[in-house]
A and B are shown apart, each in its own frame.
Chain A
Amino acid sequence: MPRERRLKDNQIIQILCRSDDAVAIYTGAEILIEVANPAMQTAWGRDASVIGLTLSEALPEIEDQPFLGMLQEVWKTGIDNVGTAIPADLLIDGKLQRYYFDYAYRAVKDENGQVYAIFHTARDVTEKVNDREELKVAREREELLKREQVLNEELATANEKLIAAQERLRILNHELEDRVVERTAELSRSESRLRYLLSDAPVAIAVLRGRELIVESANKMVLKAWGKTDEIIGKTLPEAIPELNGQGFLDILNAVYTEGEPFYGSEVKALLRQNGKLEEVYFNFVYQPIKDESGNTDGIMITASIVTEQVFGRNQVQHLNEELIAINEELNESQGLLMSTNLDLKASEMRLDKIISQLPVPVVVLMGQDQIIATTNEALLKYWDRTKEEVAGKTMLQVFPELRNQPYPDLWKRVLAGEGPVAKLEIPVTYSDKLGGTEHSFHIDYHCQALTDLGGNNVGVISTILDVTEKVRSRKQIEKAEAQLRLAIESSKLGTWYIDALTREFKPSGRLKQIFGFYEDEDMPYNAATNQILDEYRQLVTEAVDDAILNGTSYDMEYRIKGFRDGAIRWVRATGKLYGEDDNGQASFSGTVQNITERKLEEQRKDDFLSIASHELKTPITTLKGALQLLNRYKDNLSSGIVPRLIEQANGSVEKITNLIDDLLNTTRTKEGQLHLNLSTFIVSKLLDDCCQHVRIGRKHELIVQGDLLLKVEADEARIDQVVVNLVNNATKYAPDSRDIYLLIEDLGHVARISVRDSGPGIPKEKIPHLFDRYYRADYGGAQYSGLGLGLYISAEIIKRHNGEIGVESKLGEGSTFWFTLPKKVL
């Protein structure tokens, strides 16, 4: 059993370090000096300061020496490295000297086999190595080592290069493959291109193989030239183009094949069948022999271009040249002729100018497309208000730019272009005055035609202008006056007529015929018209007409006629006057006829009214007069019972007269718009209850008030009373048997409506529209009723003044309702 050691580690180290052999202990790949005994220190030429340094720190001079590498190898591999007489260059005493050592680097491993230190021993054998062989060996070893080192390095480098080269090679291989593929594709493309090129080449190309001249290939051009299709491929040339036989080409080809020399042909003619016809075709061509590797001809390549057109063209040019020479000769002859004609022309031009200048009508000659003013005359210059210098040689539009937008430039162009002469009457034209300011409008008669040269070509236009402005103006004035007259006649509805004093030709207007009862477009001769005059007037009228014609007097008559078709009696007023001779030496008699029936009827109505008015007034006056005269008789016997009655009658009559006169006055007042309204608000039912006392007293009729008894209106109470009284009076007068008369009040919102209803005989439909007319009295059954017939007219006027409406509803046999409305409030 091992006894416990008595020495400590450092004591051990201390003892070992006393060895005479050099000893060192290293650790780590950096070769750290753990221990270095004095012997080693001496060997190194160092002292104990090296301990704790790395070997390279301690001995920098061993940098380029193998010791570090060897030590590192030992540390790495764990394999000892022992050697003899290894040289080492060491810096001893400042001098680098070579020493030789027997050494040993021994790897010290732990229990796992892991190196944890290197034990280095060394013995200085420098002296020993005096021996040259040992030196040599040492040197050789050194050499070998060095070489090995170098070789190792080279090998490493070579390896790297090899790897790189391998890689490059791999890449190159790839590239090569790609390139091959590409080249192959290109080649085949190139081949196709070539094929197409050849096929579509603008030159005829064909390849013939063998002595038999088999057509191996032929492009489009050559096929076209031969007039064949690609069916000939594979055939011999003679088979393909039989028409070549006898034309010499086959012989030439044979010669080329035999001799192996190319043949060149220029503008050679061949007869080829094209579209079924033998055509002349000219070629420039080459027969080129194709040789194999041995230099023997085994085919011929034909290239050719078709020059037919050139050949023909050249022939034509030649032909034309010959013609040109002939023409030139002719031309020379004509030249001479022309010169003499020109002189004639000049003479006739001068004559033309002279004629134009003397014309009293404005004439201008314009030459060419630009309408250059070539010739003018005095009349024209005066018309244009320009001098000759101001216009000569200028274009029309230069002198009169204002014509640009008028139809003339276009017109000249058209005439110049050959559209034929133009004649336009009374067309408008506008010129600016010289200063370019004011524009003047004219009317002209315009004639324009083309001027031709000897060849019949239009070179200009010649225009004549006639100023008809005045004529047009007067004509327009007359037309205007006539139109106004026609309008006046039409609006006055006058019929007009005209009799030729000599021929007695009678020309009535349409309106005149209508008045006489004819149709407008019908014939109405003079006798037919006079036949329609009523017998009592006819002679008077015809005599008056005759007298007027004979003696040149005028007449103005009113008479009645009977309508031709409808037989209606009309009143007409006819005037007539003789007009003296016109430009043709004709005297004429003309006049107007006017339908005055309405006026006459109105007059009649007024007359009737007046006579009725006077009659109506005279009635109460009769009573008044009678009563007063009787009172006069009884003035001495005033107590007679008759007296009060007479006084009452007298008073009553005065009352009646007053009322009648009031009515008359009211009529004129309403007509003149003088009806003044006294407005007040009142209850309608109250007015109705209070009014018409005279009727209520009479007891013949019952007045029944119905409806809205509280309704109020704003109106003139007295006037409304007047209206109601009138309506009620009418009811009593015209419906005397209608016992009950209803007065109805209705509220219609904005207006009040008051109606007076009776159950009398009613009013015929045709009379209703006229009821409210002035002077109108609807008399029934032929009888005539007293009263002026003004009542309804006045009532209507009063209601109108109130902005109300008045009307009647009536049915024969059932009675009548007269109504009126009043706005409840006056606006």
Chain B
Amino acid sequence: MKKRICVLEDNDEILEIIKIVLEDENYDVYGFGTVAAFMANYLDLKPDLCLLDVMLPDGNGIEVCEAIKKHPESSEIPVVVMTANSRMDKMREGSNANDFIAKPFDINDFAHRINRLITVDI
């Protein structure tokens, strides 16, 4: 069975790129444009990894990360946060995300990081 990745990204084009890249890595990718949509569906999907953008129309990826980690059913799921925000270092300090990826990213590096976390998980 393919591994599942839930992606929270409001920019359609970036989501498309991510989908192409991750599907190439043989993942099933489920994308959500809003925090609400993500939170409503991710648990049911039981993803192997959550990939979160930070700046969202209805919320903040950091908070979503905390919510995931707090939730007993998802506390073990690795979470990757990606952001174009230059204050990423500061974000990193206060967060319990497993990894931070800066935009724009190199797709190979991007794939590598995702793989690492899922593979490790297994």
A and B assemble together? yes
In this complex, the interface size class of chain B, counting residues with CB under 8 Å from chain A, is: 20 to 34
- Beyond A611-B86, A623-B11, whether A618 also contacts B20 by CB under 8 A is no
Interface of B is mostly: mixed
Say yes or no: A611 contacts B13, CB within 8 Å. no
Say yes or no: A783 contacts B57, CB within 8 Å. yes
Interface residue stretch chosen among A66-74, A566-574, A624-632: A624-632
State the CA gap A621–B57 with chains docked (Å): 20
- Beyond A618-B104, A622-B17, A626-B104, whether A611 also contacts B85 by CB under 8 A is yes
Minimum CB–CB distance from B86 to chain A (whole Å) comes to 5
Closest to B18 in A: A626
Say yes or no: A630 contacts B17, CB within 8 Å. yes
Minimum CB–CB distance from B29 to chain A (whole Å) comes to 14
A645 within 8 A of partner (CB): yes
A621: which B residues are within 8 A, CB to CB?
103-104
Say yes or no: A611 contacts B87, CB within 8 Å. yes
Say yes or no: A785 contacts B57, CB within 8 Å. yes
Interface centre among B18, B24, B84 (most CB of A within 10 A): B84
- Beyond A614-B86, A783-B56, whether A630 also contacts B14 by CB under 8 A is no
Q: CB-CB contacts of A777-797 with B at 8 A, as 1s and 0s?
A: 000010111100000000000
A574-630 at interface with B (beta carbon < 8 Å): 610-611, 614-627, 629-630
Q: Choose from B11, B86, B107, B108 the contact partner of A619 (Cβ within 8 Å).
A: B11
Minimum CB–CB distance from B90 to chain A (whole Å) comes to 11
Closest to A623 in B: B13
B106: which A residues are within 8 A, CB to CB?
625, 629
Closest to B103 in A: A622
Q: Choose from A618, A646, A653 the contact partner of B84 (Cβ within 8 Å).
A: A618
A642: which B residues are within 8 A, CB to CB?
20
Q: Choose from A611, A630, A785 the contact partner of B107 (Cβ within 8 Å).
A: A630
B83: which A residues are within 8 A, CB to CB?
615
Say yes or no: A627 contacts B17, CB within 8 Å. yes
Which B residues are closer than 8 A to A by beta carbons? 11, 13-14, 16-18, 20-21, 24, 55-59, 83-87, 103-108
Minimum CB–CB distance from A320 to chain B (whole Å) comes to 121
Say yes or no: B104 contacts A622, CB within 8 Å. yes
B16: which A residues are within 8 A, CB to CB?
645, 649
Interface centre among A616, A618, A621, A652 (most CB of B within 10 A): A618
Q: Choose from A615, A626, A645 the contact partner of B85 (Cβ within 8 Å).
A: A615
Q: Choose from B11, B85, B87, B105 the contact partner of A625 (Cβ within 8 Å).
A: B105
Interface of A is mostly: helix
Closest to B15 in A: A623
Closest to B53 in A: A619
Which A residues are closer than 8 A to B by beta carbons? 610-611, 614-627, 629-630, 633, 642, 645-646, 649, 652-653, 781, 783-786
Say yes or no: A619 contacts B14, CB within 8 Å. yes
Known: A611-B86, A622-B84. 20 other contacts (CB 8 A): A617-B84, A618-B84, A619-B11, A619-B14, A622-B17, A623-B14, A624-B104, A625-B106, A626-B14, A626-B17, A627-B13, A627-B17, A629-B107, A633-B24, A645-B16, A649-B16, A652-B13, A781-B58, A783-B58, A786-B55
A-B contact pairs, 14 of them (CB 8 A): A611-B87, A615-B84, A615-B86, A617-B84, A618-B84, A619-B11, A622-B105, A623-B13, A625-B104, A625-B107, A626-B104, A627-B17, A630-B107, A633-B24
B17: which A residues are within 8 A, CB to CB?
622-623, 626-627, 630, 649
B57: which A residues are within 8 A, CB to CB?
783-785
B85: which A residues are within 8 A, CB to CB?
611, 615
Minimum CB–CB distance from B60 to chain A (whole Å) comes to 8
- Beyond A614-B86, A783-B56, whether A649 also contacts B13 by CB under 8 A is yes
Closest to B55 in A: A784
A783: which B residues are within 8 A, CB to CB?
56-59
- Nearest 9 CB-CB pairs, A to B? A618-B84, A626-B17, A622-B104, A622-B103, A615-B84, A625-B104, A623-B13, A621-B104, A629-B107
Minimum CB–CB distance from B17 to chain A (whole Å) comes to 3
Minimum CB–CB distance from B59 to chain A (whole Å) comes to 7
B104: which A residues are within 8 A, CB to CB?
618, 621-622, 624-626
Say yes or no: B84 contacts A626, CB within 8 Å. no
State the CA gap A626–B18 with chains docked (Å): 8
Minimum CB–CB distance from A208 to chain B (whole Å) comes to 145
